[in-house]
């Protein structure tokens, strides 16, 4: 397994795998911003093309997990651009393909993200996650602290309004 920050050219090379990764997560019921499942290839492609544009034009980093050269997981570090919050970033869209879960890839992605945030001199990371999701345990193990929760925040794949938990990490 190889964990890398991908540049725009590399992201375009792995676009099909990024699309498959997002479809796999949404279609398995993950709450990553798309509803309802199944997620079409066109919508997944449009999402990633927007992300690649924002990597090209801003501070966003896409960190990827590659197994035998194939992209099987990713997470995004999105530094704030508002001038009074340049010290912080959002952690977004942590996903590992179902065929590669429970092998430590999610943890490795978050560890690499934390390293990059430190290298950039960031002081605060913020994320939100569905209460009780497997990702919540992962974030807790990596030292993220619960900031609070908001009920009825987003619709789950099966149509229920779910609670979201905000986490932060001071660097
Ligand atoms: C959350 C997610 C990224 C975790 O990815 P992952 O690669 O499975 O994460 P890890 O392997 O690091 O950890 C998952 C579990 O496997 C365990 N594990 C890690 N390495 C292991 C190994 N070698 N053998 C057995 N178990 C292992 C971990 O201890 C952890 O256990 P837990 O369920 O008790 O917490 C993945 O479940 C996912 O993509 N979910 C859908 C998207 C989503 O909800 N993202 C969160 C958005 S905020």
pLDDT tens, position by position, 121-145: 999 999 999 999 999 999 999 999 9
Nearest CA to ligand 1 atom 24: 103
Ligand 1 atom closest to 95 (CA): 39
Q: Is 49 left (phi over 0), alpha (psi -120 to 50) or beta?
A: alpha
Hey, what CATH topology would domain 2-127 get? Answer: Aminopeptidase (3.40.630)
Residues 50, 4, 35, 129, CA torsion sign: negative
C-alpha 102 to ligand 1 mean position (Å): 5
Write the DSSP assignment of 98-155 as a string of letters: GGG-SSSHHHHHHHHHHHHHHHTT--EEEEEEETT-HHHHHHHHTT-EEEEEEEEEEE
Nearest CA to ligand 1 atom 1: 135
pLDDT tens, position by position, 38-94: 999 999 999 999 999 999 999 999 999 999 999 999 999 999 999 999 999 999 999
Asked if 119 contacts 100 with a C-beta cutoff of 8 angstroms, the reply is no
C-alpha 20 to ligand 1 mean position (Å): 18
Prediction pTM value: 0.98
Q: What is the mean pLDDT of the chain?
A: 98
Average pLDDT over residues 89-108: 98
Nearest CA to ligand 1 atom 9: 106
Average pLDDT over residues 3-14: 98
Position 126 scores a pLDDT of 98
Question: Cβ of 168: how many Cβ atoms within 10 Å?
Answer: 16
Q: How far apart are CA 128 and CA 24, in angstroms?
A: 20
Ligand 1 atom closest to 108 (CA): 12
Position 61 scores a pLDDT of 98
Q: How far apart are CA 148 and CA 128, in angstroms?
A: 10
How much of the chain, in percent, has pLDDT values that exceed 90?
100
From 64, 107, 111, mutation site for ligand 1 pocket: most ligand atoms within 8 A of C-beta = 107
Position 71 scores a pLDDT of 98
Position 167 scores a pLDDT of 98
Q: In which band, very low, low, confident or very high, does the pLDDT at 12 lie, cut at 50, 70 and 90?
A: very high
Angle, alpha carbons 86-91-95 (nearest 5°): 155
């Amino acid at each position: 397994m190889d964990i890398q920050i991908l540049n725009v050219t590399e992201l375009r090379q792995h676009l099909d795998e990024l699309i498959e990764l997002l479809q796999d997560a949404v279609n398995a019921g993950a709450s990553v911003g798309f509803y309802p499942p199944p997620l079409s290839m066109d919508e997944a492609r449009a999402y990633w093309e927007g992300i690649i544009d924002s990597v090209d034009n801003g501070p966003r980093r896409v960190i990827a997990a590659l197994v035998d050269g194939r992209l099987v997981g990713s997470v995004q570090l999105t530094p704030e651009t508002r001038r009074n919050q340049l010290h912080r970033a959002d952690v977004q869209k942590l996903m590992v393909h179902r065929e590669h879960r429970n092998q430590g890839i999610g943890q490795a992605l978050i560890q690499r993200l934390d390293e990059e945030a430190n290298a950039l001199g960031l002081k605060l990371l913020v994320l939100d996650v569905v209460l009780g999701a497997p990702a919540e345990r992962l974030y807790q193990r990596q030292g993220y602290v619960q900031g609070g929760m908001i009920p009825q925040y987003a619709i789950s794949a099966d149509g229920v309004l779910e609670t979201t938990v905000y986490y932060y990490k001071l660097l």
